[in-house]
Structure 1
Amino acid sequence: MPQTALGAELFVDVARQAVERVVAGNKDAVGVAARLFADCVAADGVIHAFGTGHSQAAALEVAGRAGGLVPTSRIALADLVLRGGEDPSVLADPLLERSPGLADRLYDLATPRPQDLFVVISNSGVNNSVVELALKVTGAGHPLVALTSLEHTHAVPALHASGKRLADLADAVLDNGAPTGDAVLPLPGGGALCGVSTLTSSLLVQMVVAEAVALLLAEGHEPPVYVSANIPGGHERNAVLEARYAGRLHRGGH
Structure 2
Amino acid sequence: MSYTAAYLAKCQGLIETVSKQETQIRQVAKLFSASILAGRMVHVFGSGHSRIMVEEMWPRYGSFPGFNPIVELSLTFHNLVVGANGQRQAMFLENVTGFAQQILRNFDLSEVDTALVISSSGCNVVPIEMAEIFQSKDIKTVGIISKEHSEASISKKQDGKKLQDFCKIVLDSGAPVGDAMIKIEGLETPVSPGSTVGSCMIINCIKAELANILTQAGHPPKVLTAGAVIGAEKATEIFQAAYDEHAHRISKMYQKVGIESYVSKEK
Shorter chain as denominator, the TM-score bin is 0.7 to 0.9
Superposed displacement of residue 114, structure 1: 4.1
- Larger RCO (CA under 8 A, 6+ residues apart): 1
Q: Give, as a single letter, the amino acid of the residue that structure 2 aligns with 1:246.
A: A
Q: Counterpart of 1:38?
A: 33
CA distance in 2 between counterparts of 1:36 and 1:91 reads 37
- Relative to 1, partners in 2 of residues 1:89 and 1:138: Cα closer, same or farther, differing over 3 Å? farther
Q: Counterpart of 2:243?
A: 242
Find the partner of 1:58 among 49, 53, 58.
53
Is 1:14 the counterpart of 2:15? The answer is no
In terms of mean alpha carbon deviation, does 200-209 or 9-18 score higher? Answer: 9-18
Find the partner of 2:64 among 63, 69, 93.
69
CA distance in 1 between counterparts of 2:98 and 2:226 reads 37
Q: Counterpart of 1:208?
A: 206
- TM-score normalised over the length of structure 1: 0.85
Q: Is the 8 A contact 1:64 1:73 kept in 2?
A: no
Superposed displacement of residue 241, structure 1: 2.9
Q: Is the 8 A contact 1:71 1:242 kept in 2?
A: no
Q: Give, as a single letter, the amino acid of the residue that structure 2 aligns with 1:183.
A: A
Unaligned runs of 5+ in 2: 76-82, 252-267
Find the partner of 1:100 among 97, 100, 115.
97
CA distance in 1 between counterparts of 2:245 and 2:147 reads 37
Instruction: Encode CA deviations 1:201-245: one digit per residue, 9 max, x unaligned.
Output: 111011011111212222333223222478613344222233234
Question: What SS does structure 1 have at the residue aligned with 2:232?
Answer: coil
1:217-236 to 2 correspondences below 5 Å: 217-228=215-226, 232-233=232-233, 234-236=235-237
CA distance in 1 between counterparts of 2:113 and 2:224 reads 19
Instruction: Encode CA deviations 1:162-187: one digit per residue, 9 max, x unaligned.
Output: 32211121111110011111011123
CA distance in 1 between counterparts of 2:101 and 2:223 reads 30
Unaligned runs of 5+ in 1: 81-87
CA distance in 2 between counterparts of 1:119 and 1:202 reads 13
Is 1:199 the counterpart of 2:200? The answer is no
CA distance in 1 between counterparts of 2:224 and 2:108 reads 22
Percent sequence identity is 26
Question: What SS does structure 2 have at the residue aligned with 1:246?
Answer: helix
CA distance in 2 between counterparts of 1:144 and 1:102 reads 18
CA distance in 2 between counterparts of 1:249 and 1:9 reads 44
May I ask how many residue pairs the two structures share in their alignment? 240
Q: Is the 8 A contact 1:51 1:75 kept in 2?
A: yes
Superposed displacement of residue 156, structure 1: 1.1
- Relative to 1, partners in 2 of residues 1:229 and 1:163: Cα closer, same or farther, differing over 3 Å? farther
Q: Is the 8 A contact 1:112 1:248 kept in 2?
A: no
Q: Is the 8 A contact 2:54 2:71 kept in 1?
A: no
In terms of mean alpha carbon deviation, does 148-157 or 229-238 score higher? Answer: 229-238
Q: Counterpart of 2:139?
A: 142
- Relative to 1, partners in 2 of residues 1:136 and 1:228: Cα closer, same or farther, differing over 3 Å? farther
Q: Is the 8 A contact 1:61 1:202 kept in 2?
A: yes
CA distance in 2 between counterparts of 1:235 and 1:249 reads 21
CA distance in 1 between counterparts of 2:196 and 2:246 reads 29
Q: Give, as a single letter, the amino acid of the residue that structure 2 aligns with 1:37.
A: F
- TM-score normalised over the length of structure 2: 0.81
